[in-house]
Structure 1
Amino acid sequence: MPLDHTARGVYPIAPTPFHADGRIDFDSIDRMTDFYREVGSTGMTVLGVMGEAPKLDQAEALEIATRFIRRAGGLPVIVGVSAPGFAAMRGLARAAMDKGAAGVMIAPPNTLRTDDQIATYYRQAAEAVGEDVPFVIQDFPQTFSVVMTPAVIRRIVQESPSCVMLKHEDWPGLEKISTLRGFQADGSMRPISILCGNGGLFLDFEVERGADGAMTGYAFPDMLCDVVRLQAEGQRDAAHDLFDAHLPLLRYEQQQGPTGLAVRKYVMAKRGIIASDAQRKPGAALTAKARSEVEYLLARVARKDPRAGKLR
């Protein structure tokens, strides 16, 4: 089913698994997709920032997206299609939708500075991929250097009917969520889904501010699913207690660039979700000291969440 504004829950950002020699590990894609479904994910997102998308050619990107979509068995898959030009963006977006994607995610180029430039870019991007393709705004100023005010997000939503979701990764961003939900309440912006990123660092309060869930890639997506579920059930203290137990590891994983991805892949490999923590070059691997720190943090998490103790 096409993505729409009612989407909620957890859409893990899937890393792209590789073999040590840089080949795509399709068996691990299957295993990871099965895991996401089994732990309660309501969808998934592929070829995002932590999916190493810039290291793939267009054929590989489509092959990976197709593998996830087919294995997902009807679970909605959002495909990152950000590209320097609209021709490449359109090509991947249309091909992914033809394969069964639920929608696409579009990040802004780092050259945008004014509200007019941002709104114009997204209006043109929507036209390029096709106005029948539901799309997600990726608002991640720490990485893309593009600052989107609530007003410009409202403008994009109002000008582009195919915009159905915001991936909210501003930091600090709690007030932005409240402002956007206020726009909906006063009728100045139509409803959209808001899923949050940043590794889930603020998920405990983001859902309380009106976010519909998470779209991020922490190595324990099952914890994120539990936090969103507990909040929806009104079990606020239980949600915060679980989140707090994971926060030191979650923070450590949130290191910028390839180091954070190295932590995530290392833990996911230890959990048996993927076969290897390899990144495609240029990439990074954890030092012996970093691995020992991760092991220490996992042991601490395991005191409160036994899933952290069930590792290879």
Structure 2
Amino acid sequence: MGIILADKIYRGVFPVAPTIFDANGRVDLDGQRRAIDFMIDAGSDGICILANFSEQFALTDDERDIVQTTVLEHVAGRIPVIVTTTHFSSLVCAERSRAAQDAGAAMVMVMPPYHGATIRVAERNIHEFYGRVSDAIDIPIMIQDAPVSGTPLSASFLAKLAREVANVSYFKIETAQAASKLRELIELGGDAVVGPWDGEEAITLMPDLDAGATGAMTGGGYPDGIRKIVDAYFAGDAEKAADLYQQWLPLINYENRQCGLAACKALMKEGGVIGSDTIRHPLAPMHPSVRAGLLKVARRLDPLVLRWGK
């Protein structure tokens, strides 16, 4: 039976923080701190670092360590921080997770083990993988269920992990028909599913909330907008939440379908939060026309990001 060792339940809006680079593609720690301060000022209930939207796959191990240390020291307990510790190796993932806990992380987020387009492991090995990570730490584990891993995780298997692996208790569902999967996961997992969460830039936020999602892990550019929607919904005003979602959906859609992880940095640079919106090569910089379209949609909503640094 799973045992939840953390006594706090995390809910609300936990956007992913980008990793900030200077114009030469080097980690910019001063810019990183400013990005975190903006995200806190914009109403984030917590943040996630070193995720895919943080370009974690483009960082060296030393860079991961310095970003983790810098962010956790700078946040200094103001809000909870989730650290992504995904790695194919059970040993490496467990060591990363322990280091994140020791540095002050509130939770770790871990994808199932995968490599490239074809290297996968069986459910039994995935179960053992999360068990070994759980044995190394005392904080919650969030399983990120997303297509990028190429690893099907059924709701029944996720519920089994929640019941049988001590610290597995949060789930970020980013698959097709996410709401249906969340609903099934909640039904099968019961109390062992502490945090059924929405993801994928909030493109499925409203149906996911209707299905029982209690958290949203979105892009980091406009937590204030997502907070308005989620706060209204949790206050019991689903109609107000729906109205607000319709207002913010064009920006959510533009980020999700046109820009991806580059959107957050473009918004932050435009608002003076950071000096450079560089993403690491071989990722291509955003086309100027796409950037102009993003900013046009964003300005209609006047998010804090466009004013924070000016």
Does TM-score exceed 0.5, indicating one fold? yes
Aligned to 2:151: 146
Task: Give distance in 2, aligned partners of 1:153 and 1:217.
Answer: 24
Aligned to 2:126: 118
Q: Which amino acid aligns with 1:134?
A: P
Aligned to 1:278: 278
Q: CA deviation at 1:31?
A: 1.4
Unpaired runs of at least 5, structure 1: none
TM score, norm. by length of structure 2: 0.88
Q: Which amino acid aligns with 2:277?
A: D
The answer on 1:163 being equivalent to 2:140 is no
Checking the alignment, whether the CA contact within 8 Å between 2:271 and 2:306 is kept in structure 1 is no
Checking the alignment, whether the CA contact within 8 Å between 1:112 and 1:118 is kept in structure 2 is no
The answer on 1:106 being equivalent to 2:110 is yes
Aligned to 2:33: 30
The answer on 1:182 being equivalent to 2:187 is yes
Q: What root-mean-square deviation, in Å, do the aligned CA atoms of Structure 1 and Structure 2 show?
A: 2.3
Q: Which amino acid aligns with 1:112?
A: R
- Alpha-carbon distance change, 169 to 204 in structure 1, aligned in 2, over 3 angstroms: same
Q: CA deviation at 1:25?
A: 1.2
Aligned to 1:193: 195
Q: Which amino acid aligns with 1:263?
A: A
Q: Structure 1 runs of 4+ off > 6 angstroms?
A: none
Secondary structure, aligned partner of 2:86: coil
Q: Which amino acid aligns with 1:87?
A: L
- Alpha-carbon distance change, 135 to 121 in structure 1, aligned in 2, over 3 angstroms: same
- Alpha-carbon distance change, 193 to 14 in structure 1, aligned in 2, over 3 angstroms: same
Deviations 1:178-214 (A, max 9, x none): 11222255xxx52421221110111122122211120
Task: Give distance in 1, aligned partners of 2:131 and 2:185.
Answer: 19
Q: CA deviation at 1:108?
A: 1.2
Secondary structure, aligned partner of 2:169: strand
Q: Which amino acid aligns with 1:250?
A: I
Checking the alignment, whether the CA contact within 8 Å between 1:15 and 1:50 is kept in structure 2 is yes
Deviations 1:253-290 (A, max 9, x none): 1138xx41222211122133332211122222112221
1:76 to 80, 88, 94: 80
TM score, norm. by length of structure 1: 0.88
Secondary structure, aligned partner of 1:255: helix
Task: Give distance in 2, aligned partners of 1:236 and 1:6.
Answer: 22
Q: CA deviation at 1:36?
A: 2.1
Checking the alignment, whether the CA contact within 8 Å between 2:159 and 2:189 is kept in structure 1 is no
Task: Give distance in 1, aligned partners of 2:263 and 2:236.
Answer: 32
Aligned to 2:63: 60
- Alpha-carbon distance change, 307 to 22 in structure 1, aligned in 2, over 3 angstroms: closer
- Alpha-carbon distance change, 181 to 86 in structure 1, aligned in 2, over 3 angstroms: closer
